[in-house]
Amino acid sequence: MNGQPSYPAVPPSLLANLNPEQLAAVTLPPEPALILAGAGSGKTRVLTTRIAWLLQTGQVGPGGLMAVTFTNKAAKEMVTRLSTMLPYNVRGMWIGTFHGLCNRFLRAHWKIANLPQTFQILDSGDTLSAVKRVIKALKLDEERFVPKQMTWAIAGAKEEGKRPHDLPQHDGQARTLVEIYQAYEDQCQREGVVDFAELMLRSYELLRDHPEIREHYQRRFQHILVDEFQDTNRLQYLWLKMLAGPPDGAHSAALFAVGDDDQSIYAFRGAQVGNMSDFEREYRVRHLIKLERNYRSFGNILDSANALIAHNSRRLGKNLHTEAGPGEPIRVYEATSDYAEAQWLLDEAQQLHRSGTARSEVAVLYRSNAQSRVIESALFNAGVPYRVYGGLRFFERAEIKHALAYLRLIENPNDDTSFLRVVNFPARGIGARSVEQLQDAARSSGRSLNQSVGAVGGAAGAKLASFQRLIDDLRERTRGATLREIIERMLDASGLVTFYRTEKEGQDRIENLEELVTAAEAFVTQEGFGKDVIALPVDETAPGTIAAPLPGEPEAVARVDLLPDAETGEILSPLAAFLTHAALEAGDNQAQAGQDAVQLMTVHAAKGLEFDAVFITGLEEGLFPHENSLTSVSAQGADGLEEERRLMYVAITRARQRLYLSFSQTRMLHGQTRYHIKSRFIEELPETALKWISPKNQGFGSGFETSYQQAWQRGSGMGSMVGAGRHAGWSPPPAPPPSWAAPVPAAMRQAAAKDNGHGLRQGQSVFHNKFGEGVILTLEGSGTDARAQVNFGRHGAKWLALSVAKLTPIE
DNA sequence: ACACCAAAAATTTTT
DNA sequence: TTTTTGGTGT
């Protein structure tokens, strides 16, 4: 690193044990840098150590740098690690998610941003209902303008940095979209709410349109560090550029972008891997460092990951290596059915457990959520504790959303989304008719529902007025109360708890509502309400310290995401702050924590995690790679298949010690038995790293277990499975059959063994010279007329005349 | 307002 | 097959 200035010595412990590339990245000069950090290469360590190094060498004060992540989890981890490395309270630093930081920014500059100070944030559900209302108000056909698609289009436009007038209006459809977008925007503005994309967009526009604020922040932040840069969308990159300043600007911040193009799996929701190369070009990045040494996995696992990802074309190029040995071979299992696959997985998982692997160190990954059920069923029946990720999150539960709606109305009675959610929940005799009347009145006067209550007469008007009084009373009586008191009073006065007490399944919901009180309490403590604002030590003598703050803006406060008003220093009420928190951090997924349980999740959900043992299941053409991905060469020009392959790469690199791959010849999907061939991704792995496990007697009938009943309700605790006799399916001949499988009905055996003179049967794997490996879906006709429908995976399902086509049975 | 039934859809998802 | 959605009937 030529010309790198020298800085005061830092404790040797800080930089000790970094490898040369990590050290180089950590100690780069304040210039644009791109760090290509492979899976398990110590990415988070590099990020946090660089921040600590910058601070400890006095190159920057705690207010002069910003670190951005995507998830709250990643942000929290960074803060936690930093607090062990630094002698100060790092909580006031600008470390957070894109949305969290934009929220903080807009809270400080709400006036210039043209927002009410207590603006609330819509989650995706709120956004959808808001758009539905817009479509209804515009009297548009929901068939032609599907609300979900409209929210998608609006968010998509915002993430491109576009307002309604920036969109094309070439045809009627496009013009109506613009109309919906505009009306939605007006409605949000009227109600004082913003959606997730709006947080980013408004924050970006504020910087773009107000040079004095832009320059202030550009002077202030000398270092901006970005995690998971490959996942940024267009708007996020624009925002970063706005904050950092132009490449050659006098006060431009050093952008330190960390990412891995091979782990880009979110193109489908707008991520632009291209931002990496754009950044490299636009900022003339001179420091490109590849972290390729992996500290997580054994050689066989890494060899497989490398071999697989080498099949992708558009790559920045990177190869993982390790100094650990090759480790265990990767075990590959071909099952005859999804059922058998789950059974095998169960056996292997139990084996792992017996040999000392903690259950929580075993992960079962699948491409799509629907695949979890068979596995759950096998684990459940064997009494193996497991945990499924991906359910509803705490703040997304219906009862919690209802409670939050009441709280939001206390804070802002003009929040129509919340008004509509609870005006008749619990039921208080305000039906659709009355609500419609109210909406009409509101629409014609351009006011909120709450403001229009007086315009509705008769019995309906009286009931509405009484609801209004309920909220107003609540607001009055809780003025100055603690957050806990507010929530408890609301739960009581709203009738929510009373309502759920009469419900038969209401007990869980009441418990969740109690949990809400606990969450609020924790939030108050954590955010330091009732405590003095804590200022961070700032070294004024150090080179390049923080520029003067805006008037009234403290350098750092204890309340992490709630910067006071830039002019008045006013801080949000605990209630408004808690509501913001609830929207930005939807909380944990259900799933009982605590117990040592096998972890079940989609590959997407596994990103960023690691486990001693990983099972990747359902490796079949059509499932993984998913059939929809093959045809989707998405708008951005990203290749669907390549993204699937990166997904597989992410999955493989989650494993530390052992990796298991499995696929099944048949699988119940959408109520039908489907025949699949093994995923091309398996064939892209080095044969030398694999060890094929096959059931011994794969006799006839292979692939013919079909449906079995599933009698327990997901998530509703331990029910009981339907008795074995109810299972309609066939058990795999490789005995001993599992105790819970039914005997094979004789008639079905016949069907399975049916062959039409060509030595072929349904479900049989076959080879075709042109189309390769396939599975027979159906057999029809006989003699010269005999034909078969064969699923060739990537070539699709084809009908073949057996008198012509040469099909060789496999094994 | 609520219960019931039929029809349609069923990658991946954080904020 | 399961889940969600919408429509109809009471």
pLDDT tens digits for range A56-84: 898 988 888 999 999 999 999 999 999 88
The C-alpha atoms of residue A429 and residue A463 are separated, in whole angstroms, by 7
Task: State which amino acid sits at residue A359.
Answer: R
- Of all nucleotides in the shown strands, which has a C1' nearest the CA of A132? C5
Q: Is residue A39 part of a domain?
A: yes
Do A79 and A95 form a contact (C-beta atoms < 8 A)?
yes
CB A582 within 8 A of CB A626: no
Highest mean predicted confidence (pLDDT) among A125-139, A160-174, A245-259, A285-299: A285-299
- Judge whether residue A124 contacts strand C, using its CB and a 7 Å cut-off: no
Report the DSSP pairing between strands A193-195 and A362-366.
Answer: unpaired
Do residues A682 and A800 share a domain? Answer: no
Is the CB atom of residue A433 positioned under 7 angstroms from any atom of strand C? Answer: no
Q: Give the global pTM.
A: 0.83
| pLDDT score recorded for residue A710 | 33
Task: Identify whether residues A477 and A598 lie together within a single domain.
Answer: no
Measured CA to C1', the nucleotide nearest A127 is B15
Q: How far is the CA of A124 from the C1' of C5 (A)?
A: 19
The answer to whether the C-beta of A714 is closer than 7 A to strand C is yes
Asked if residue A714 has pLDDT above 50, the reply is: no
Is residue A418 included in any domain, yes or no?
yes
Per-residue pLDDT at A11: 74
Q: Is A293 part of the annotated catalytic residue set?
A: no
Angstrom distance, A706 CA to B9 C1' = 22
A129 touches strand C (CB under 7 A): no
- Catalytic one of A21, A43, A127, A343: A43
> Do A499 and A448 share a domain, yes or no?
yes
Residue A698 CA, nucleotide B8 C1', distance (Å): 38
Check whether A589 has a pLDDT greater than 70.
no
Name which of A299, A321, A349, A351 is nearest A662 in CA terms.
A349
Alpha helices in A258-337 (DSSP H): 274-282, 299-309
Residue A727 has pLDDT above 90, yes or no: no
Confidence (pLDDT) at A571? 67
CB atoms within 10 A of CB A357: 17
Estimate the crossing angle of helix A72-85 against helix A43-56, to 10 degrees: 50
Q: Are residues A91 and A210 in the same domain?
A: yes
Determine the nucleotide nearest to A668 by Cα–C1' distance.
C1
3-state secondary structure of A772: strand
Q: 């390049």: which residue's tokens?
A: A544
- What's the confidence (pLDDT) of residue A719? 29
Which pLDDT tens digit goes with each residue over A766-782? Answer: 888 777 888 887 676 66
* A703 in a known ligand binding site: no
Q: Which range, A3-17, A425-439, A484-498, has the best average confidence (pLDDT)? A: A484-498
Q: Residue A225: what are its φ and ψ, rounded to 5°?
A: -110, 130
Round to a whole number and report the distance in Å from the CA of A713 to the C1' of B5: 21
> How far is Cα A130 from Cα A508, in angstroms, rounded to an integer?
28
Q: How far is the CA of A717 from the C1' of B13 (A)?
A: 26
Question: Rounded to 5 degrees, what are φ and ψ at A520?
Answer: -65, -45
- Token couple for A356: 């000392």
Q: What is the mean pLDDT of residues A404-408?
A: 94
- Measured CA to CA, the distance from residue A775 to residue A192 in angstroms comes to 57
Straight-line distance from CA A426 to C1' C10, in Å? 22
Q: Which amino acid is at A804?
A: V
- Residue A315 in domain: no
The tally of domains found in chain A comes to: 5
Residue A314 belongs to a domain: no
Strand C contact with A368 (CB < 7 A): no
Nucleotide nearest to A669 (CA to C1'): C1
User: Quick one: which of A587, A589, A581 has its CA closest to A392?
Assistant: A589
pLDDT value of residue A757: 60
Closest nucleotide C1' to the C-alpha of A143: C6
Each as own residue / partner, the long-range contacts of residues A534-539 (CB below 8 Å, 24 or more positions apart, any chain) are: A534/A89, A534/A92, A534/A558, A535/A92, A536/A62, A536/A63, A536/A88, A536/A89, A536/A92, A536/A93, A537/A62, A537/A88, A538/A61, A538/A62, A538/A63, A539/A58, A539/A61
Query: Which value, in Å, is the radius of gyration of the alpha carbons in chain A?
Result: 29
- For A129, A131, A322, A524, the CA distances from A134, given in Å and listed in that order, are 9, 5, 55, 36
Q: Measure, in angstroms, how far nucleotide C9 C1' is from residue A305 CA.
A: 59
Of the residues A663, A680, A698, the one at which a domain ends:
A698
Active-site annotation holds for A139 = no
In whole angstroms, C4 C1' to A670 CA is 14
Residues paired with A774 in a beta bridge? A766
Give the residue nearest to nucleotide C1 (CA to C1').
Answer: A671
Q: How far is the CA of A777 from the C1' of C1 (A)?
A: 19
Give the DSSP letter string of A188-249. Answer: HHHHTEEEHHHHHHHHHHHHHH-HHHHHHHHHH-SEEEESSGGG--HHHHHHHHHHH--TT-
- The whole-angstrom separation of Cα A420 and Cα A452 is 13
A88 and A223 share one domain: yes
| A43 is an active site residue | yes
Half-sphere exposure of A32 (CA within 13 A, CB side): 20
Is A31 a residue of the active site?
Answer: no
Mean pLDDT of A375-382: 93
Q: What is the pLDDT of residue A810?
A: 81
Nucleotide with the nearest C1' to A672 CA? C1
Same domain assignment for residues A220 and A349: no
pLDDT given at position A544: 31
Which of A191, A221, A242 is the C-terminal boundary of a domain? A191
Q: Which nucleotides of C are covered by protein (CB under 7 A)?
A: 1-3, 6
CB atoms within 10 A of CB A177: 21
Position A584 pLDDT exceeds 70: yes
Helices (H) and strands (E) in chain A, counts: 29, 22
Q: How far apart are CA A90 and CA A689, in angstroms?
A: 45
Q: In the predicted model, what is the mean pLDDT of residues A354-370? A: 96
Does the annotation place A569 within a ligand binding site? Answer: no
Rounded Cα gap, residues A69 and A100, in angstroms: 10
Length A155 CA → B15 C1' (Å): 12
How many Cα atoms sit within 13 Å of A218 on the Cβ side?
21
Work out the pLDDT band at A597, boundaries 50, 70, 90: very high
Nearest residue to B11 (CA, C1')?
A368
Please check whether residues A206 and A66 belong to one and the same domain.
yes
pLDDT(A425) > 60: yes
Q: Is the CB of A668 under 7 A from strand C?
A: yes
**Which nt sits closest to A431, CA to C1'?**
B1
Beta-bridge partners for A799: A789
Residue A705 forms part of a structural domain: no
Residue A41, marked binder: yes
For residue A376, give the CATH number of its domain: 3.40.50.300
pLDDT value at A384 more than 60: yes
| Whether residue A729 has pLDDT greater than 70 | no
Indicate the Cα dihedral angle A475, A480, A485, A487, nearest 10°. Answer: 40
A38 annotated ligand-binding residue: yes
User: Does residue A572 belong to any structural domain of this protein?
Assistant: no
User: What pLDDT digit, counting tens, does each position of A471-492 carry?
Assistant: 999 999 988 788 999 999 999 9
Tokens of residue A487, six digits: 């929530």
Residues 6+ apart with CB under 8 A from A323: A293
Listed residue (A214, A282, A217, A218) closest to A251, CA to CA: A218
* Residue type, position A649, single letter: Y
User: How many Å apart are A208 CA and B7 C1'?
Assistant: 50
Which of A563-567, A574-578, A586-590, A655-659 has the highest mean predicted lDDT (pLDDT)? A655-659
Which position among A263, A322, A336, A599 bears the catalytic label?
A: A263
Count of beta carbons in the 10 Å neighbourhood of residue A132? 16
Whether the beta carbon of A404 falls within 7 A of nucleic chain C: the reply is no
The pLDDT of residue A312: 94
Residue of least CA–C1' distance to B12:
A604
Q: Return the HEC string of A707-746.
A: CCCCCCCCCCCCCCCCCHHHCCCCCCCCCCCCCCCCCCCH
Determine how many CB atoms are found less than 10 A away from the CB of residue A666: 25
- A374 CB and strand C closer than 7 A: no
Judge whether residue A616 contacts strand C, using its CB and a 7 Å cut-off: no
The two tokens of residue A98 are 């894109």
> Could you tell me which residues are beta bridge partners of residue A37?
A291
Higher-pLDDT residue of A3, A196: A196
Higher pLDDT, A747 or A418: A418
What is residue A782's predicted lDDT score, i.e. its pLDDT?
61
Which of A21, A228, A361, A416 is an active site residue?
A: A228
The burial class, CB within 10 Å (0-12 / 13-18 / 19+), for A783 is exposed
Residue A641 · residue A312 · CB < 8 Å: no
Q: Is residue A624 part of a domain?
A: yes
**Smallest CA–C1' distance to B10, residue:** A670
Candidate list A159, A191, A227, A553, residue with the active-site label:
A227
Averaged pLDDT, A795-806: 68
* Element housing A68 (H / E): strand A65-69
Indicate whether A518 and A611 sit together in one domain.
no
Closest CA to A358 of A640, A597, A175: A597
Q: In which domain, by residue range, is A409 found?
A: 396-535
DSSP 8-state class, residue A532: P
The residue with tokens 């105790």 is A739
A92 and A172 belong to one structural domain? no
What local confidence, expressed as pLDDT, does residue A254 receive?
A: 95
User: Quick one: which residue's CA is nearest to C2's C1'?
Assistant: A670
- List the structure tokens of A556: 């750092």
Is residue A573 in some structural domain? no
Nearest nt (C1') from A142 Cα: C6
Residues 6 or more apart in contact with residue A295 via CB below 8 angstroms: A40, A41, A42, A322
Q: Domain containing A426 — which CATH number? A: 1.10.486.10
Domain boundary among A140, A173, A191: A191
- State which protein residues have CB closer than 7 Å to strand B: A 70-73, 97-100, 123-124, 196-197, 266, 268-269, 367-370, 390, 424, 427, 429-434, 584-586, 601-602, 604-605, 626, 628-629, 632, 640, 644, 670-671
Angle in degrees, CA A429, A434, A437, rounded to 5: 170
> How far is residue A28's CA from residue A9's CA, in Å, rounded to a whole number?
15
Q: What is the CATH number of the domain that holds A174?
A: 1.10.10.160
Q: What Å value separates CA A301 and C1' C7?
A: 54
What pLDDT sits at residue A790? 78
Q: Examine the pLDDT at A536 and tell me if it is beyond 50.
A: no
Same domain for A223 and A273: yes
pLDDT above 70: residue A193 = yes
**Residue A531 assigned as binding residue:** no
From A408, A654, A678, A787, the catalytic residue: A654
* Residues A702/A336, Cβ–Cβ less than 8 Å: yes
Q: From the CA of A429 to the C1' of B4: give the distance in Å.
A: 22
Active site residue A227: yes
A37 belongs to an annotated ligand binding site? yes
Enumerate the nucleotides of strand B whose atoms come under 7 Å of any protein CB. 1-2, 9-15
Q: Is A170 helix (H, G, I), strand (E, B) or coil?
A: coil
* A694 and A798 part of one domain: no
Residues linked to residue A225 through DSSP beta bridges, in sequence order: A67, A256
User: Region A228-257: what's the mean pLDDT?
Assistant: 94
Residues A107 and A232 in one domain: yes
Nucleotide nearest to A146 in CA–C1' terms: C5
Q: Does residue A477 lie within 7 Å of nucleic acid chain C, judged by its CB? A: no
Point out the nucleotide closest to A199 (alpha carbon to C1′). B15
Q: Is the pLDDT of residue A87 over 90?
A: no
Rounded-to-integer distance, Cα A737 and Cα A729, Å: 12
Q: Tabulate helix, strand, coil % of chain A (nearest 5).
A: 45, 15, 40
**Mean pLDDT for all residues in chain A:** 82
